[in-house]
Amino acid sequence: MFVDENRNNMKFERLLKCFTRDLPTRWYCYKSGLKYQRDWQIRGEVKIIKKSWLFCKLFRKKTGILQIGKGFKCNNKIKSNTIGLIQPCVFNVLNPDSQIVIGNNVGISGSTICAVKSVTIGNNVLIGSGCIITDTDAHPISWKLRRERRSDLKAVSPVVIQDDVFIGARSIILKGVTIGERSVVGAGSVVIKDVPPDCIVAGNPARVVRKLTL
Ligand SMILES: CC(C)(COP(=O)(O)OP(=O)(O)OC[C@H]1O[C@@H](n2cnc3c(N)ncnc32)[C@H](O)[C@@H]1OP(=O)(O)O)[C@@H](O)C(=O)NCCC(=O)NCCS
- Domain total for the chain? 1
145 is a domain residue: yes
pLDDT digits (tens, 9 = 90+) for 50-107: 877 677 777 777 778 999 999 999 999 999 899 999 999 999 999 888 999 999 999 9
Question: 105 is in which domain, residue-wise?
Answer: 38-211
Q: Are 169 and 184 in contact (CB under 8 A)?
A: no
- Separation of 167 CA from ligand 1 center, angstroms? 11
Whether 86 is in the pocket of ligand 1, judged by its Cβ within 6 Å, is no
Q: What is the mean pLDDT of residues 139-147?
A: 89
pTM summary value: 0.91
Specify the residue with its C-alpha closest to ligand 1, atom 34.
209
Whether 187 is in the pocket of ligand 1, judged by its Cβ within 6 Å, is yes
pLDDT band at 187 (very low <50, low <70, confident <90, very high): very high
Whether 200 is in the pocket of ligand 1, judged by its Cβ within 6 Å, is yes
Phi, psi dihedrals of residue 41, rounded to the nearest 5°: -135, 105
185 is a domain residue: yes
pLDDT digits (tens, 9 = 90+) for 101-111: 999 999 999 99
Given ligand 1 and candidates 165, 200, 210, which is best to mutate, with the most ligand atoms within 8 Å of its CB? 200
139 among known catalytic residues: yes
Q: How many CA atoms lie within 13 A of 197 on its CB side?
A: 7
- Return the CATH number at 153: 2.160.10.10
* Residue 149 φ/ψ region, left for φ over 0, alpha for ψ in the -120 to 50 degree band, beta for the rest: left
Whether 188 is in the pocket of ligand 1, judged by its Cβ within 6 Å, is yes
Q: 61: Cβ–Cβ under 8 A, 6 or more apart, which residues?
A: 51, 55, 96
24 is a domain residue: no
